[in-house]
Amino acid sequence: MHIIKDMGWIEVVTGSMFSGKSEELIRRVKRARYGKKKTIVFKPEIDDRYCPNSVVSHSGDQVNAININSATEIFNYVTEDIEVVAIDEVQFFGKDVIDVCQKLANQGKRVITAGLDTDFKGVPFGHTHILMSVAEYVDKLQAICVVCGNPASKTQRLIEGRPASALDPIILVGAKESYEARCRRCHVVPM
């Protein structure tokens, strides 16, 4: 990345589950802090994976984060001196996340976002795709397909070990569900 002076911008790190989005967000935040940039990290309240006050990657890296319900709450925390704002699981926020990121970037801040581009059905998730179109930098990462070893761009949802259908309820009570990374060929969404 080149040197940018007196200007903010938006970065999007996207891809399937397990593609390393959180890992990459954490890496960028840590590097910004080595550079003595005042940095703050947010994540949606809904994501309570492992630890409520941190962004934690599947490999165990972590960084402290503030839980928020709505993207506009970010303005309650971001003071003028903050130079870098990171937002994980950006797909869970409403459409106002776009305006929030644009405003922060227009104020001269570096905005690092990470989130799923598609859901388990393979269709755009939340507003990540819009954020990708207004961002200066987009990195689409891939995981490894656990079935065949190809690069994986899809998230497979399993219910009791079997591929979930597009019609299965999003919230399941009592059933065991899980997710895995799969390539285009191995990703299955039965009708």
Question: Does the annotation mark 89 as catalytic?
Answer: yes
Beta carbon of residue 5, minimum distance to ligand ADP (angstroms, whole number): 31
Closer to ligand ADP by Cβ: residue 38 or 58: 58
Site string for ligand ADP, 125-164 (x = CB under 6 A): ------------------xx-x------------------
- Which residues belong to the annotated binding site for ATP? 15-22, 88-91
Applying CB under 6 A, which of residues 112, 181, 183, 186 lies at the interface with ligand ADP?
Answer: 181
Beta strands in the chain (DSSP E): 9-15, 39-44, 54-56, 62-64, 66-68, 84-87, 110-116, 137-141, 143-144, 151-152, 154-159, 162-163, 177-182
> Are the C-beta atoms of residues 131 and 98 closer than 8 Å to each other?
yes
Beta carbon of residue 25, minimum distance to ligand ADP (angstroms, whole number): 8
What's the CA gap between 129 and 8, in Å, rounded? 20
180 SS3 class: strand
147 binds Zn ion (CB under 5 A): yes
Residues that bind ligand ADP (CB under 6 A): 15, 17-23, 57-59, 143-144, 146, 181
